[in-house]
Amino acid sequence: MKSANSGLYKSTFAMLSQKIMIRNVNCIIKVELPGLEKLILNTTSDIYIREYVKILTKCQYPDDERIMLILSNKLLDWYKGKIGAIQKNKYMYDKNQHEKSIEILESLIQMIQEGGE
């Protein structure tokens, strides 16, 4: 009897964990990504990066999970390649926001990967 209940508890916990993950990812999409989008659009003229961030902000998790992971990784790679120049640019006034954007992308990628397991 205990093993049947144990299995029920585990499946209920897994289902609740998945719902929380979906809410957390969609919360990041709605709350954090609009600011990240504006920051990137004000920073670069690279049309690919600009389009990646526009598409990412329109994604819905878990439906667009694969696209979100691809775009988030592309944006994170771009940021990691540019952060040094951003930090050195004396005309860039929002340097800390760029670091926050990197953290948001890293968190989003991690959450998506953990949700897919």
Question: What is the residue extent of each domain of the chain?
Answer: 2-115
Give the SS3 label for residue 1: coil
Q: Is residue 9's pLDDT more than 80? A: no
Q: What pTM does this model have?
A: 0.83
User: What's the pLDDT score for residue 87?
Assistant: 92
Using one digit for the tens of pLDDT, what is the confidence trace for 10-69? 667 566 666 777 888 999 999 999 999 999 999 999 999 999 999 999 999 999 999 999
User: What's the pLDDT score for residue 92?
Assistant: 86
Q: Which two tokens stand for residue 89?
A: 């640019």
Question: How many of the other CB atoms lie within 10 Å of CB of 70?
Answer: 14
User: What's the pLDDT score for residue 4?
Assistant: 55
